[in-house]
């Protein structure tokens, strides 16, 4: 699934993305670390992996979107 980086705190490695429908979804440090990134800037397109649905939706991986 694709999304757009919305917020990111480099101290905690937590942040949020916006899904293509505009829904913000938070991610935690383990999801960020799983993608091997060192930094994330708001506006970057990212690829995410999730589990769960609705209110239980959780991001398990954040990495850069590549073509």
Q: Is 52 exposed, middle or buried (0-12, 13-18, 19+ CB in 10 A)?
A: exposed
Tell me, what's the pLDDT at 67? 63
pLDDT values of the chain reduced to their tens digit, one per residue, 67 residues: 999 999 999 999 999 999 999 999 999 999 999 999 999 999 999 999 999 998 899 999 999 977 6
Tell me, what's the pLDDT at 37? 93
For residue 34, give both structure tokens. 């799983």
Question: Quick one: residue 14, left, alpha or beta (phi over 0 = left, psi -120 to 50 = alpha)?
Answer: beta
| pTM of this structure | 0.90
Q: Domain 2-64's class?
A: mainly beta
């Amino acid at each position: 699934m694709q999304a757009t980086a919305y917020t990111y705190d480099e101290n905690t490695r937590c942040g949020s993305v916006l899904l293509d429908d505009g829904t913000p979804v938070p991610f935690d440090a383990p999801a960020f670390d799983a993608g091997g990134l060192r930094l994330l800037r708001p506006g970057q397109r990212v690829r995410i992996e999730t589990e769960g649905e609705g209110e239980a939706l959780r991001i398990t991986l954040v990495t850069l979107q590549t073509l």
